[in-house]
Structure 1
Amino acid sequence: MIRTPTTTTTAAVITTVLLFLVILLITIQQLLQSQKMSTSPNPTPINPYKRLHIIPNSYGTLTRLPEFFPTVPPSTTNSTALSLSKDVVINTEKNTWVRIFLPRNVSDLETSSSKKLPILLFIHGGGFILCSAASPVFHEFCTNMASRLSALVISVEYRLAPEHRLPAPYDDVLEALTWVKERKDEWITKHGDLSRCVLMGESAGGNIVYHAGLKAANQINDFKPLIIKAMILIQPYFGGVDRTESEIRLGNDVALPLVVNDLMWDLALPVGSNRTHEYCDPFVGDGLKLWDRVRDLGWEIGVAGCDGDPLFDRNVELVKVLERRGLSVRAMFDKGGSHGMFVSDISKTIELFEFVNKFFIFKD
């Protein structure tokens, strides 16, 4: 065969195209491998203690570096805050207390309002080991919530792990509920409607509300005349031994990487326990049976989350399981986002408040 310029050119083009396809295939494979590595747990080593700004001590305690965990005082009448707030001691021996938030437009303590406000008991997050009711992010969240929902918000300062492992915070919240029902503060006496109480928790606070709420439901007569109407779980913090798809996909998540998640459970669960414990995994033990009492009491359940959160799959499964048990459940799941967004992103905070106001007890 005699090669002509045309056949030579054609062969060169074919060779070039084939070479391009080979390079493209290699590039795609490299990109896929890179993507797989970026979503797999710990592509680079993470020191969870350093990430959390904590130092482990002997005797099962932590040093929480104070520069990373500031606190703010309550908002007095001299402030420009949307809500006034004050701190009230619950238990001096346990060093537990509450920060109460009252909308500024009903804060005249000289006059008892004829229109009582619903009571919202809020439990902050922090993986059971960090943060406070006085942390700036939670103080601001509750300040806005009291004003926007026209509610008397009571944020609980509970004991932290590992100094006080689970179930210590569950017990602290139950004690706070007893304190509320006894109306030991004038703001509750003058402005709180004991017939409309909602329990709300964010992240670890959602876990605490889940377990404390179940206990309260099965001891309901102990809390009369307080009437609980709803439980709202914001990105509730649950776990398990087997990884979920969202945990694997977001294994190196900025907000909640797996190694940090694992450490917080190790520090919070009872000594000798693992993530098969009912405090961690809501689908083991007798927890689900206790929900039948919640159903019979007619409590509304709310769950908020997003698919950018490693806990997303567990949140979705919880909703499905509760619905199968006949509970009245309202869910709000966003696309994207991250763990903690409902308290750290004001646009998501407002979205959450609208969800709560629409479906729960903030109406007569």
Structure 2
Amino acid sequence: MEYPTKVLLFFLQFTILTLHIQALDQTNSSKPQNSTTDPYKLLHIIQNPDGSLTRIKDYYPTVPPNTSSSISFSKDVPLNRDKNTWIRLYLPNNSKHVNLPIIIYAHGGGFILLSTATPNFDSFLSNTARQLGVLVVSVEYRLAPEHRLPAAYNDVLEALFWVKGKKDEWVKKYGDVSKCIIMGESAGGNIAYIVGLKASILTRQLNPLVIKGLVLIQPFFGGVTRTRSELKLPDSAGLPLVITDLMWNLSLPLGANRNHPYCNPVIGAGSSKLEKVKKLGWRVAIAGCDGDRLYDKQVEVFKLLERRGVDVVGNFSKGDYHGVFVTETTKALLFFEFMRSVFYSYLA
């Protein structure tokens, strides 16, 4: 699984951008974080007078679908034309195109950046389809602040109903809607979790689509009180607080702080919908590493699910960094092995 030079350069640029950030701790999210560095400049975005963002295209490349690949084929199809949302489908290039499990995927980017067509996500999902023998339904959801949460959640939930209706030939011909997994990385992991909670009370409406579980890859969670991993890692260790705070400020509903359940899922002992998730017997897989500033909150969520009796499986490793599972070949392959072990009844 080789990633193009542009993909590696993109993540190298992002890492370099964060090397000299001096982010001071805050425990009250109502106060802006003190920093001499402008996170807008670090992220190559411009805030417009109406509150929208201009995302400088040179720093956020995208790639077209792949119609001739030895790994997987892909194509783009509309989800909701009025909302300008769409789906990129990935079909493995092999002869076993029958009753494939379906992964509904949400990409990362802090809710404000990137696309399912961003090169690293596109490469990762192409390999996901081939390595796991699945049909991938990757959702191009609406971004904040133009569309604050829950817009992204609603778009991915709409994609579940799109899959249920077999709105595309590939889903109808190759997919098995009775074997669906909701998966996401970073902000997408957050989306997978929240959408899973929403879908848990809609099982009748979603029938014959059946969800078998959730996969949260380094999910983007937080809270007003800083975790140990947020504070102990040096400012150079990716996703510094000045950036994550901006992402939450731009994506949460207006007036909400980081203790909103969208950000902090352990607040108030967690969602009441977790009881439904438990009764449905879904497996929840969480992957993370302690070189990620978000690590401790991910572990908190894992422990919450354990306490609530959810069938949860963790894959927590030492070192590494945020985004490692979708950028490094060896880590991605290990992640696929983890997926197979968790969903051994469904995945190749």
What is the TM-score normalised by the length of structure 1? Answer: 0.84
Partner in structure 1 of residue 72 of structure 2: 83
Partner in structure 2 of residue 50 of structure 1: 41
Alpha-carbon distance, 1:283 to partner: 1.8
Partner in structure 2 of residue 242 of structure 1: 225
How many equivalent pairs are there?
319
| Contact kept in structure 1, 2:107 and 2:188, CA below 8 Å | yes
Partner SS, residue 105 of structure 1 = coil
Q: Distance in 1 between matches of 2:37 and 2:203?
A: 44
Q: What do the CA deviations read for 1:167-221 (whole angstroms, capped 9, x no partner)?
A: 0000001100000000011111111011110000100001111111100001111
Partner SS, residue 59 of structure 1 = coil
Alpha-carbon distance, 1:288 to partner: 2.4
Q: What do the CA deviations read for 1:127-157 (whole angstroms, capped 9, x no partner)?
A: 0000001110110000000000000011100
Q: What do the CA deviations read for 1:309-342 (whole angstroms, capped 9, x no partner)?
A: 0110001111111001111111001100001111
Partner in structure 2 of residue 74 of structure 1: 65
Partner SS, residue 71 of structure 1 = coil
Q: What do the CA deviations read for 1:101-128 (whole angstroms, capped 9, x no partner)?
A: 0001148xxxxx5x31100111100000
Partner in structure 1 of residue 160 of structure 2: 177
Q: Distance in 1 between matches of 2:172 and 2:301?
A: 36
Unmatched 5+ residue regions in structure 2?
1-19, 26-34
Alpha-carbon distance, 1:255 to partner: 1.9
Partner in structure 2 of residue 59 of structure 1: 50
Q: Distance in 2 between matches of 1:91 and 1:341?
A: 31
Partner in structure 2 of residue 231 of structure 1: 214
Matches within 5 A, 1:271-310: 271-284=254-267, 287-310=270-293
Partner SS, residue 132 of structure 1 = coil
Q: Determine whether 1:118 maps to 2:101.
A: yes
* Equivalent AA in structure 1 for residue 140 of structure 2: E
Q: Determine whether 1:135 maps to 2:118.
A: yes
Q: Distance in 1 between matches of 2:287 and 2:95?
A: 29
Q: What do the CA deviations read for 1:272-300 (whole angstroms, capped 9, x no partner)?
A: 11111111110225842111000000000
Q: Distance in 2 between matches of 1:82 and 1:210?
A: 29
| Contact kept in structure 2, 1:122 and 1:153, CA below 8 Å | yes
Q: Distance in 1 between matches of 2:112 and 2:262?
A: 15
* Equivalent AA in structure 2 for residue 188 of structure 1: V
Match of 2:143 among 157, 160, 166: 160
| Contact kept in structure 2, 1:41 and 1:248, CA below 8 Å | no
Q: Distance in 2 between matches of 1:363 and 1:89?
A: 27
Partner SS, residue 246 of structure 1 = helix
Q: Distance in 1 between matches of 2:214 and 2:69?
A: 31
Partner in structure 2 of residue 362 of structure 1: 346
Whichever of the two has the greater Rg, that structure is 1
Match of 1:98 among 87, 95, 103: 87
**Identity over aligned residues, as a percent?**
53
| Contact kept in structure 1, 2:22 and 2:37, CA below 8 Å | no
Unmatched 5+ residue regions in structure 1?
1-37, 108-112
Partner SS, residue 289 of structure 1 = coil
Matches within 5 A, 1:332-347: 332-347=315-330
Q: Distance in 1 between matches of 2:36 and 2:152?
A: 31
> 4+ residue stretches of structure 1 with deviation over 4 A?
none
What is the TM-score normalised by the length of structure 2? Answer: 0.88
Q: Determine whether 1:262 maps to 2:245.
A: yes
Greater mean alpha carbon deviation, residues 244-253 or residues 218-227: 244-253
| Contact kept in structure 2, 1:246 and 1:310, CA below 8 Å | yes
Q: Distance in 2 between matches of 1:363 and 1:70?
A: 31
Partner SS, residue 143 of structure 2 = coil
Indicate the structure with greater helix content.
1
